[in-house]
A and B are shown apart, each in its own frame.
Chain A
Amino acid sequence: MDVLYFAWVRERIGLPKERVETSATTVNDLVAELIAREERYAAAFADTSALRVAIDQELTDFDAPLAGAREVAFFPPMTGG
């Protein structure tokens, strides 16, 4: 699946988008896999309560299932308006 990062999450991880091959069944599982990869992921995902996640461009929760997901995006709380 494609994993996208925005704002300071993108800056901490150092890229806007990557292709991730994963067997993770939930967003939380995917986050745990990413954290185990490298320190920059651990830094970005240190506090997931400060983050938001979207699956296929719809906001969801970190315990949401990933079955069928094509695109997962991680970002800080939004500051529109």
Chain B
Amino acid sequence: MIVRVQDIPFDAGLELNGFAKGRPDVGAIVTFSGLVRDVPGGLQGMEIEHYPGMTAKAIEAIAAEAQQRWSLADVLVIHRYGVLEPTDPIMMVATASKHRADAFAAADFLMDYLKSRAPFWKKETTGDGADWVAAKDEDEAALDRWS
């Protein structure tokens, strides 16, 4: 399991190429990348706050849960905090497994849980000022899929 919480940018392609490398038991890798997307009014920037003492532990617990539920060769989670610009990568998840079904399901699970259970908070700045992104009810409801 690789979990990185960092303020510096990362290269998703480079990370993918190095992930689960040299593992002949791995037949499938699924990745998801989350990017800073534009919003109505024009996004000038995004700031991501996190809870330093808790963040890595919370992500590791979510990744460990994924490893229990599915047969995974490895899991990678990278999540940024700090000041980001439109189009910047925010985070990525990668899962490696023997067959694709486990890797797809685990990546989907990881994203649902990272969205609502990893202690990050996004603040968007537009021409109208800066405001915290509100959590969506549908994101919370998405967790029910896995219970």
**B53 contacts partner chain A, Cβ-Cβ < 8 Å:** yes
A interface residues, tally (CB under 8 Å): 18
Chain B's interface size range is 20 to 34
A7 interface neighbour in B58, B79, B132, Cβ under 8 Å: B132
Quick check: is A68 within 8 A (CB to CB) of the other chain? no
Q: Is B99 an interface residue when CB atoms closer than 8 A count as contact?
A: no
B51-A79 in contact (CB<8A):
no
B51, B58, B133, B135: the one contacting A6 at CB < 8 Å is: B51
Known: A75-B121, A80-B79. A54 touches B34 (CB 8 A): no
| Residue numbers in B under 8 Å from A10 (CB-CB) | 49
**Contact between A77 and B51, CB atoms less than 8 A apart:** no
Q: Which residues of B contact A80 (CB under 8 A)?
A: 79, 91, 114-120
- Using a Cβ cutoff of 8 Å, how many contacts connect chains A and B? 69
B54 touches A77 (CB 8 A): no
**Taking the complex as formed, is A65 at the interface, i.e. its CB lies under 8 A from any CB of chain B?**
no
* A78 and B79 alpha carbons, distance in the complex (Å): 14
- The answer to whether A4 has its CB under 8 Å from any CB of chain B is yes
Known: A73-B51, A75-B121. 4 other contacts (CB 8 A): A77-B140, A78-B121, A80-B79, A81-B114
